[in-house]
Amino acid sequence: MELIDIIPMVRMLLSKAALVSCNGSLDATEQCDSSSDNCVCIDESDNKERLIAALKEHLSKGSAPVKTISIKGKGVISVEYPKGAPVINGVVENRIIIVTGGAQGFGGGVAEELFAKGAHVVVADLNEEVGNAMVNKLNSLGQINKAIFVHVNVGDSDSVKRMVEQTVLQLGGVDAIISNAGILRAGGLDEMDPDTFDLMTKVNYAGYFYCAKHASRVMKLQAEVAPQHFTDIIQINSKSGLKGSNRNFAYAGGKFGGIGLTQSFALELMPHNIKVNSICPGNFFDGPLWSDPENGLFVQYLKAGKVPGACSIEDVQAHYEKQVPAGRGCRVKDVAKAIVYVIDQEYETGQAIPVTGGQEMLR
Ligand SMILES: NC(=O)c1ccc[n+]([C@@H]2O[C@H](COP(=O)([O-])OP(=O)(O)OC[C@H]3O[C@@H](n4cnc5c(N)ncnc54)[C@H](O)[C@@H]3O)[C@@H](O)[C@H]2O)c1
């Protein structure tokens, strides 16, 4: 077994009263001080069952909290216990949650909301500059939980694998992954070129598969030693995953496909206590996709005369808001509440949950 597989199991074995976090060093020459009560040295690392048995035996012996575990020939794991007052919403507290596309937009807002509720958040994004700025902002709030940035291209399976490995090395495991990174290039059949279609399919559809594939591997290891601990794979889908979208088929097709993946992954993974759900937000009018003053859809639609009689951006926005029974666009808080609901549940999997203010309803 590699250290990367051992760390999530160690974390769950040590997470008794509260979830701990761990940090791994892959330097095989490093050893911890075996004379210290806080240190455990394990020789047995190639056979999983023997390794777990050895760890359990060592951990049951000592009364002092284990701070370091050295695994012979593999490296050292440092353990950090949560300190300080618990955060009020205990649902996500101390959970390790990856948010892809977490630098900005819905993902950025969700990262902020989950961090505020006490989760360790991995901001995983293509955009290093904006992603690092988000992480610095979160870590400067003075909370005890941590935020880290990991560079990822969700359209590349190896990159997603490295993202999950970095998460395990720096924080100790994965309790939830929010597969949020997505792109939109609208166009009808006459305009859409095959390369753009392939790119959107890779990011929006295959990207979700890569996230589920690599994160579930870690979640399954955690479930082996802590069968009572539920974990989550959550895809940020769209109302366009529930109803076709005119001249936007590459986006809607990928999102419809995502719900097929969600239902199928849910069947496969529930035996490991991994829940898999999609959340389908309505239009995020406050986000850059719609509101960017230069390239946002409101400006584009105004210039293109798409909304008859509209003379200003406000007219265009009002036209779209009227189509929502709730009278407004979807906000980050609406999506974050749905995410916390899904994580809190132990009996909800394989669902596509609309968060659309009534604009799209399940049949
Ligand atoms: N904006 C909306 O109105 C709306 C509505 C419903 C659903 N959604 C969905 O919400 C999700 C987020 O959308 P948004 O509007 O917040 O987008 P956004 O463009 O504001 O942000 C997307 C983030 O994803 C990152 N990203 C893009 N491609 C990536 C890749 N290949 N690998 C890693 N990161 C990548 C970007 O750098 C950016 O930080 C998407 O899945 C989208 O389909 C959006």
pLDDT for 171-228, tens place per residue? Answer: 999 999 999 999 999 899 999 999 999 999 999 999 999 999 999 999 999 999 999 9
* C-beta separation of 12 from 20 below 8 A: no
Q: What is the mean pLDDT of residues 233-255?
A: 97
Q: Does residue 179 have its Cβ closer than 6 Å to ligand 1?
A: no
Q: Does residue 98 have its Cβ closer than 6 Å to ligand 1?
A: no
* C-beta separation of 23 from 173 below 8 A: no
Residue 31 has pLDDT above 80, yes or no: no
**Could you tell me the pLDDT band of residue 295, with boundaries at 50, 70 and 90?**
confident
Question: What is the CA(168)–ligand 1 centre distance, in A?
Answer: 24
Q: Which residues contact 178 (CB under 8 A, 6 or more apart)?
A: 97, 98, 99, 100, 102, 107, 110, 234, 236, 339
In the prediction, which pLDDT does 89 show?
59
- Domains of the chain in sequence order: 3-80 (no CATH), 96-283+324-355 (3.40.50.720)
Q: What is the mean pLDDT of residues 121-129?
A: 98
Q: What is the mean pLDDT of residues 165-175?
A: 98
Q: What is the mean pLDDT of residues 333-355?
A: 98
**Could you tell me the pLDDT band of residue 274, with boundaries at 50, 70 and 90?**
very high
Q: Does residue 131 have its Cβ closer than 6 Å to ligand 1?
A: no
357 or 186, which is more confident?
Answer: 357
**Could you tell me the pLDDT band of residue 288, with boundaries at 50, 70 and 90?**
confident
Predicted model pTM: 0.96
Q: Does residue 155 have its Cβ closer than 6 Å to ligand 1?
A: yes
**Could you tell me the pLDDT band of residue 357, with boundaries at 50, 70 and 90?**
very high
In the prediction, which pLDDT does 299 show?
94
Query: Which atom belonging to ligand 1 lies closest to the Cα atom of 255?
Result: 43
Distance, CA of 299 to chain centre:
31
- Alpha-carbon dihedral angle through residues 131, 134, 135, 141, given to the nearest 10 degrees: 180
Most confident of 38-52, 74-88, 160-174: 160-174
In the prediction, which pLDDT does 60 show?
80
- Concatenate the DSSP letters of all residues of 301-351 into one string: HHHHT-STT--SHHHHHHHHHTTSTTSS---HHHHHHHHHHHHH-SS--S-
Q: Does residue 288 have its Cβ closer than 6 Å to ligand 1?
A: yes
Longest dimension (CA), the chain: 80
In the prediction, which pLDDT does 23 show?
95
